[in-house]
Amino acid sequence: MTDKELHRIRMIENVIDRRLSGTQAARRLGITARHLYRLVSRYKTDGAESLLSERRGKPSNRSYPDELRSQVIAVIREHYYDFGPKLVSEKLSHLHAIHLAVETLRRWMTAAGIWVPHSQRKPRIYQPRQRRDCLGELIQIDGSHHDWFEGRSPKCCLLVFIDDATGKLMHLHFSETESTFDYLAATRRYIELHGRPVAFYSDRHTIFHVSKRDAHTDRITQYGRALQELNIELICANSSQAKGRVERANKTLQDRLIKEMRLEKINTIEEANGWLPYFIADFNDRFAKVPKFPKDLHRPFVGDACDMDDTFAWHDTRVLSKSLTFQYDKVLYLVEPTEENSRLAGETVKVLDYPDGRIAVMYGDRSLDCQVFDKLAEVDQGQIVENKRLGAVLSFAQQKQDEMDRADQRSRSKKMPKRRAQIRALGRNPALD
């Protein structure tokens, strides 16, 4: 019996024993006196069981048929076994013409073992991971977006490199954004200072990781390609807790670093990047740990400055047309029509886009000389006639005159690095330098 039914029986017994009047008992039970005396009569004749509802144990008149419930569960098991009740309700309504309330589906799916309510799920356990053994074995990297200059300059991003074995800040670098070129520049500086570590440990940002929806593309990012050429392993964490050392360092830096820069009257990214080595040295003296083994696993970079430039450039590929031309970033490039290059029509070349805006074209290990025909700049018709090499694109230029007159209203490709737009604003074309 329920508590309500037990309370009703006690009130009826009090009326029978004359401890309460019928009016008082009816008022306490919220029923009329006539109905109370009807219950008293039933209790005297058939006992307490006569007061129970005759509908107990029977299905509700508003319940759905068992056949419908079995049909819905079968459909869910076949097509929507990993869907939530809300999404299942939408799919059943749109695709199967079955209209059911979300809570009804939640009860059915829970009873069938398809859905586990959040309150009944076991919490995930994140056990602490031991530090690595040696310096340079694992370097955690992350970008922290924050108002680092407290309004004295626009908000920016701090790229943090911290050693897992010692907790040392290996490198800090302020940048306006968290882009591939920013990480490439910071990583290059890291390697110049310390050498090549065994592995970098990052989150699943698109700079480091290619998601499943982009599976049709190459399964490696520009940053991953650069590390692969340097023989450095790139490991992506599955959660923020997994790279907790750099996450905690970000929180500490957002407190200490901001206040230190305020005391030093540092107001710009350039000033901060010049002063950061002093902060890193002081921070490591205070908080760095001694590694389990003293060996430093950093390896020196093998190669010259040109090799490093090529490694940390943006790599892309293009196919040469029959006239030895290709387009990159809305610019038409013309390869020198030498006898050796004339056989490259239809071949794939590699375009190296350097952070400073320079463009290099490679076919295998051979560098190709090329001229630029910029579709975004206004065309000087006399220069086209004078430059015999641009004759192959003269007809193309004439067709695009109207577009070129509105060059100041057009922008570069959104897929290209933003720093190319900044270089364009300087009024020069680095590819011709």
Q: What is the pTM of this model?
A: 0.63
pLDDT on residue 6: 85
The partner residues of 135 in beta bridges, in order of sequence, read: 296
The CATH homologous superfamily for domain 139-287 is: Ribonuclease H-like superfamily/Ribonuclease H (3.30.420.10)
Task: Check: CB of residue 153 under 8 Å from CB of residue 144.
Answer: no
Sign, CA torsion 27/30/32/34: negative
pLDDT on residue 365: 86
Give the start-to-end residue ranges of the domains of the chain.
3-51, 66-120, 139-287, 313-432
Residues 6+ apart with CB under 8 A from 48: 1, 9
Place of tokens 């952070």: 355
Radius of gyration of the chain (CA): 37
Alpha-carbon gap, residue 263 to 55, rounded angstroms: 78
Instruction: Give the model confidence (pLDDT) of 357-406 as tens digits.
Output: 888 999 988 889 888 876 555 444 444 443 444 444 444 455 555 555 55
Q: Please, what is the end-to-end C-alpha distance for the chain in angstroms?
A: 92
3-state secondary structure of 331: strand
DSSP states along 166-197: T--EEEEEEESS--HHHHHHHHHHHHHHH-B-
Quote the distance between the C-alpha of residue 57 and its chain's center: 52
Return averaged pLDDT per consecutive 10 residues of the chain, 433 residues in all: 83 88 89 90 83 75 89 93 92 93 94 91 77 92 94 93 94 92 94 94 89 64 92 88 88 93 94 95 93 93 85 92 87 88 89 88 89 61 43 49 50 58 42 47
Task: Check: CB of residue 261 under 8 Å from CB of residue 149.
Answer: yes
Question: What value, to the nearest 5°, has the Cα angle with vertex 59 and ends 56 and 61?
Answer: 110
Of the candidates 66, 69, 39, 61, the one whose C-alpha atom is nearest the C-alpha of residue 52 is: 39
The partner residues of 290 in beta bridges, in order of sequence, read: none
pLDDT on residue 49: 77
DSSP E strand boundaries for 74-188: 139-146, 156-163, 169-175
| DSSP secondary structure code for residue 237 in this structure | -
Sign, CA torsion 428/430/431/433: positive
